[in-house]
Structure 1
Amino acid sequence: MFIAIGIFFVFLLLGMPVAFSIGLSGFSFFMIRDLPMTVLVQKSISTSQSFTMLAIPLFILAGNLMNSCGITKRLMRFANACTGHMYGNIGQVSCLMSTLMGGVSGSAVADASMECRILGPEMTRLGYDRGWSAAINGLSGLIVATIPPSMGLIIYGTVGEVSIGRLFMAGWVPGILMCVLLMLAVTWSARRFGYKPEHDHPAPLSEILKALLDSIWAILFPVLLIVLIRFGIMSPIESGSFACAYALLVGTVFYHELTWESLLQTLRDSVKDITVITIILAFSGVFGYGIVFDNITVTIANALLGITSNSAILLLLVVVFLLICGMFMETTVIALILTPILLPVMRSIGVNEVVFGMIMMTTVTFGVMTPPVGTALYAVSDIMECPIEETFKKGWPFYLAIVGVILFMIFFPQAVLFLPNLVYGA
């Protein structure tokens, strides 16, 4: 299997699409081991036809529908009303909007790109440095990886057989903490660069309440999602169908902004997104079979335990490893390939599976904003028309804020488990 992993990285470095890199390396494993090709086909089909994985395309469609029905711009107005009196207020809007968008988008890269397109021109008009703007829009998108319904958490929970409901509840504390730390970092750096507030005083309460009521259907969505899953009214998979129906209802009945033309375009965009994810899912099943066949999990577990038996130090080493992986691979791929490898190791040293899920998905999503192959880093820099070096350089306070959240989860796991234990029991 190590040969197949080497082939995967070679293809990746040569610029081959991730899905085909996984597929060809998995195929090479079957060729080297002289295994029946019928198993290869069966594994590809069974992974892509998993009932639990059905939540992913449903939430992708729901997120695109919500973006098309006017929810995004209403959330932006509400965020701006709350933060207009703060230094670097459009950067503050980015942080607050990502927190509110967590229940709508589910994708860090999509959220970062969307915010750059919406907020970027206004940031440039106000004289914000392009690299600074790209950095905060990109790194605030990481909040989406923790606030439910996160695509990464669904994949981790499915592959690792961890309660998705508990993972969704666990996401609130680190997600809100990330928002707070990023907003503090924005305030500090905005003062340093002289990005003054748009308004001298906070907006009147009546204005904030009006903006809140205008965006209430978007804010209610993640709350309804948690309540429906917790009380057994629907499973996480069924909640994906509910999300699509909810988006259609809001777009057609309440906001009247979802037209036939925008609906058709949304469906086209969703088909493209879902196709890419499905191909990766299918080929990852072949790769995962090789990991189990060669007992890679035991080998890696013994190697890690040979370094140290201290759970905190071991977890820090795994975080560094995941961060490096995140620099070169997509979040979905890492979750599919590394969850079955690392989760048994973490369980063996007493690390809670829900806490590790939050740490793992936050860390690998952090990788989308780190060089040399961070997908979100390239996306936001391209949209803001600035070099990635400038984005990385100007965004160092925001990078430190994300690191702070990861360290918080490592050393204070009970804080992450507070809400899951409160709702579901210890």
Structure 2
Amino acid sequence: MVLITLVFFVLMFLGMPVAFAIGISGFIFFVTDSTMPMSIGVQKIATMSQSFPLLAVPFFVFAGHLMNESGITARLFRFSSVAVGWMSGGLAQVAIVLSTVMGGVSGSAVADAAMEARILGPSMISHGYARGFSAAAIAVGSLITATIPPSIGLILYGYVGNVSIGRLFLAGIVPGLLMMCVLMATTYVIARRRNYVVANTERPTTKALVSAVWGAKWALLFPVALVFAIRGGVFTPSEVGSLAVVYAVAVGFLAHRELDWSKMCRAFEHAISDIGLITIIILMSGMVGFAIIYMQVPQGISHWMLNRISNPQMIVAAILLFLLVAGCFVESTVLVLLLTPIFVPIVAQAGVDPVHFGILMMSIVTLGGMTPPVGVAMFAVCSLMDVRIEDYTREAVPFVAAVVGLIFALLFLPGLVLWLPDLAFG
């Protein structure tokens, strides 16, 4: 296992694409183990693609792009602007609320961050917001998108860890809303101290708020319909993904009348690119996943940790600290695929609900995408807004600290995470 890990990090350091770094690392295991035929490695790659739950990933990715092309994003932006644009740091508050409502549409933090950087970034800078602050509010705020259902990361975690995706979806709602509140409070404090201007100087009237909600009704209804469809047993999470595509097409063509053939083709192009990237990483992780199980790595780590730490919360805290550091260097999808088979058995043996742990794990590893040195969302936002990494890093510290504090608070308050899934599923 040491050799596999060493090869993986060396290849990553040399700049090799993540999927190939994972594939070559897994290939090394079969080359160095004389008792293991190479044909099993090929079988494991093929086996990773033969999964019905995994169909949810391409469907939700495609649905997210279709919804972006169908005018939903513009309506959600108007709703967010009317609802919170009058607060201190108005445009930054809008970015955070927009990430929350976009969570029910795209499921991808990077996609949300890039979209907001294009739409909100120039306006924030022109209104006197510091470039680093603007980029940090947008990038770290996009973390909410990865927590609110339908989250692509939660689907992968549930698939690899054999955890109920329906329970994970419901468990992400309360933490996502709490994350929104924590980030809005952080923004408010900073904006008040710096006297940042607001987007709208007056609080919205009831009529304006109702009008904004009505305009965004199809987008706001989607995550609600998704949860009820899964809970009611009408659809499995995989089938809900296909329903999301049909829903997006219907809204775009019939309700908003903004989706046309050219926009459909553009959504296909973006979706195919994203799906291909995610799928090849998933397939290549099949060999490494087999090696991890074959060498009994989960059992070894579990024995080592349980013999040294008796408190279940402290075990999870130690894992989260490790993930916080690892997330700064490795993309979240890779961490979920490679580490979920290791850590889920450990937390289950320690008596921690895998659904509770899954929400904490996904939040902490996705946060790595917003931090140096290799945060994908960070680089996307900084490049689109022409922000220096040093300025971004300095301004992101209070946002990251607030999120980390919330995650560790949720560790000791499992009832907040598990209340909705327990209420719905028992």
TM-score class, shorter-chain normalisation, is over 0.9
Instruction: Report how far residue 285 of structure 1 moved.
Output: 0.7
Q: Please state whether the residue corresponding to 2:327 is helix, strand or coil.
A: helix
Note the alpha carbon deviations across 1:242-282, whole angstroms, 9 max, x for none.
Answer: 00000000000011111111111110111111111110010
Q: Provide the residue aligned with 2:66 in structure 1.
A: 65
User: Once structures 1 and 2 are overlaid, which stretch shifts more, 359-368 or 308-317?
Assistant: 308-317
The 5-angstrom pairing of residues 70-81 of structure 1 reads 70-81=71-82
The 5-angstrom pairing of residues 172-211 of structure 1 reads 172-211=173-212
User: Once structures 1 and 2 are overlaid, which stretch shifts more, 76-85 or 401-410?
Assistant: 401-410
Q: Provide the residue aligned with 1:27 in structure 2.
A: 27
Q: Please state whether the residue corresponding to 1:252 is helix, strand or coil.
A: helix
**Which residue type is aligned with residue 275 of structure 2?**
I
Q: Please state whether the residue corresponding to 1:98 is helix, strand or coil.
A: helix
Alignment partners' CA distance in 2, 1:231 and 1:306:
42
Does structure 1 retain, via aligned residues, the 8 Å contact 2:168–2:421? yes
**Which residue type is aligned with residue 345 of structure 1?**
I
Q: Provide the residue aligned with 2:352 in structure 1.
A: 351
Alignment partners' CA distance in 1, 2:17 and 2:305:
31
Alignment partners' CA distance in 1, 2:241 and 2:269:
18
Q: Provide the residue aligned with 2:3 in structure 1.
A: 3
Alignment partners' CA distance in 2, 1:67 and 1:408:
34
The 5-angstrom pairing of residues 26-425 of structure 1 reads 26-34=26-34, 35-425=36-426
Does structure 1 retain, via aligned residues, the 8 Å contact 2:81–2:199? no
Q: Please state whether the residue corresponding to 1:198 is helix, strand or coil.
A: coil
Aligned-pair Cα RMSD in Å: 1.0
**Which residue type is aligned with residue 13 of structure 2?**
L
Alignment partners' CA distance in 1, 2:411 and 2:157:
18
**Which residue type is aligned with residue 266 of structure 1?**
A
Alignment partners' CA distance in 1, 2:271 and 2:201:
42
Instruction: Report how far residue 307 of structure 1 moved.
Output: 3.1
Note the alpha carbon deviations across 1:325-353, whole angstroms, 9 max, x for none.
Answer: 11111111111110000011101111111
User: Once structures 1 and 2 are overlaid, which stretch shifts more, 17-26 or 192-201?
Assistant: 192-201
Instruction: Report how far residue 223 of structure 1 moved.
Output: 0.3
**TM-score, normalising length: structure 2:** 0.98
Instruction: Report how far residue 12 of structure 1 moved.
Output: 0.7
**Which residue type is aligned with residue 363 of structure 1?**
I
**TM-score, normalising length: structure 1:** 0.98
Instruction: Report how far residue 164 of structure 1 moved.
Output: 0.7
User: Once structures 1 and 2 are overlaid, which stretch shifts more, 96-105 or 200-209?
Assistant: 200-209
**Stretches of 4+ aligned residues off by more than 4 angstroms:** none
**Which residue type is aligned with residue 320 of structure 2?**
V
Does structure 2 retain, via aligned residues, the 8 Å contact 1:156–1:336? yes
Alignment partners' CA distance in 2, 1:424 and 1:316:
27
Note the alpha carbon deviations across 1:53-104, whole angstroms, 9 max, x for none.
Answer: 1100110000000000000010000000011210111100011111101110
Instruction: Report how far residue 2 of structure 1 moved.
Output: 2.1
Alignment partners' CA distance in 2, 1:249 and 1:401:
39
Instruction: Report how far residue 312 of structure 1 moved.
Output: 1.9
Alignment partners' CA distance in 1, 2:176 and 2:342:
26
**Which residue type is aligned with residue 240 of structure 1?**
G
Alignment partners' CA distance in 1, 2:372 and 2:195:
28
User: Once structures 1 and 2 are overlaid, which stretch shifts more, 162-171 or 401-410?
Assistant: 401-410
**Which residue type is aligned with residue 320 of structure 1?**
L
Alignment partners' CA distance in 2, 1:405 and 1:222:
23
Alignment partners' CA distance in 1, 2:97 and 2:212:
14
Alignment partners' CA distance in 1, 2:396 and 2:89:
14
Alignment partners' CA distance in 2, 1:45 and 1:192:
56
Note the alpha carbon deviations across 1:374-410, whole angstroms, 9 max, x for none.
Answer: 1111111111111111111012221122112201211
Alignment partners' CA distance in 1, 2:169 and 2:334:
20
Specify every segment of 5 or more residues in structure 2 that has no aligned partner in the other structure, as ranges: none
Does structure 2 retain, via aligned residues, the 8 Å contact 1:189–1:397? no
Q: What is the count of residue pairs matched by the alignment?
A: 425
Specify every segment of 5 or more residues in structure 1 that has no aligned partner in the other structure, as ranges: none
Note the alpha carbon deviations across 1:165-215, whole angstroms, 9 max, x for none.
Answer: 111110011000000011111110011121122333211111111111011
Alignment partners' CA distance in 2, 1:48 and 1:387:
40
Instruction: Report how far residue 306 of structure 1 moved.
Output: 3.5
User: Once structures 1 and 2 are overlaid, which stretch shifts more, 3-12 or 297-306?
Assistant: 297-306
Alignment partners' CA distance in 1, 2:103 and 2:266:
22
Alignment partners' CA distance in 1, 2:269 and 2:117:
22
Instruction: Report how far residue 31 of structure 1 moved.
Output: 0.1
Does structure 2 retain, via aligned residues, the 8 Å contact 1:86–1:196? no
